[in-house]
Amino acid sequence: MTAPFKRLAVYCGSATPADPVYIETARMTGATLANRGIGVVYGGGRLGLMGATADAALELGGEVIGIIPEALVRPEVAHQGCTELHVVPGMHARKQAFTDLSDGFIVLPGGVGTMDELWEAISWSQLGYHDKPVGLLNVNGFYDQLVAFNRHMIEVGFIRPQHANILIVDDTLDGLLAKMAAYEPHQSIFSMTTDDL
């Protein structure tokens, strides 16, 4: 069976938390994508969850494309073993490249940078800059409070009903990939009339 995705962007932290479940999840994600013939597009570093995802995919012969800003090449220690490593001018170019090169987004646990990438992927989807699935892997309940806050934004009315299902959540990678494959694009803000808004 042909994979529904050629490549997926994987957003995750460059840190290594004490609980091994996070690194294990990153390695499982990289290995699973490689085994399914899905390329990984990621932040280009070799540390933390980022490096674990890339290494696991590469070990199984998977395609790994790293996108790293010039200013982060030294601090993040760019992963020189990637299939391709693109050094870009800054964060905006990095996120544009993630969007251009991938068929969707998987968000693993991470910190501020990961949150920036997640919310921009959702925001761009709402607006209509892309119509790709945005998946959140809620391993170990890491994102429980974020999922609750997203639901709160929907209930209050800051997220329109048409966009309530942009964020796809599951606590297993298999479940998340299945939901992402079944995702049907919503009505974007760019296509709405004033009355819709």
Instruction: List CB contacts of 72: < 8 A, sequence separation 6 or more.
Output: 44, 45, 78
Phi and psi torsions of 45, nearest 5°: -90, 165
Q: Where are the domains of the chain?
A: 7-182
pTM for this one? 0.94
| Residue-wise pLDDT tens digits, 151-182 | 999 999 999 999 999 999 999 999 999 999 99
Chain Cα centroid distance, residue 132: 11
Instruction: State how far the Cα of 166 lies from the Cα of 159, in Å rounded to an integer.
Output: 10
Write the burial class of residue 125 (CB in 10 Å: 0-12 exposed, 13-18 middle, 19+ buried): buried
Q: Kindly report, residue by residue over 93-125, the tens digit of the pLDDT.
A: 999 999 999 999 999 999 999 999 999 999 999
12-65 per-position pLDDT tens digit: 999 999 999 999 999 999 999 999 999 999 999 999 999 999 999 999 999 999
**By 3-state DSSP, what share of the chain in percent is helix, strand and coil, each rounded to 5?**
45, 15, 35
Distance of CA 7 to the CA centre of its chain: 11
Give CATH for domain 7-182.
3.40.50.450
H-type alpha helices, the chain: 21-35, 48-59, 73-76, 91-101, 112-127, 144-156, 173-181
Distance from the Cα of residue 171 to its chain's centroid: 15
Question: Mapping DSSP to helix (H, G, I), strand (E, B) and coil, where does residue 133 land?
Answer: coil
The CB density around residue 18, as the number of other CB atoms within 10 Å, is 5
| Confidence (pLDDT) at 59 | 98
Collapsing DSSP states into helix, strand and coil, what is residue 27? helix
Contact 114, 107 (CB under 8 A): yes
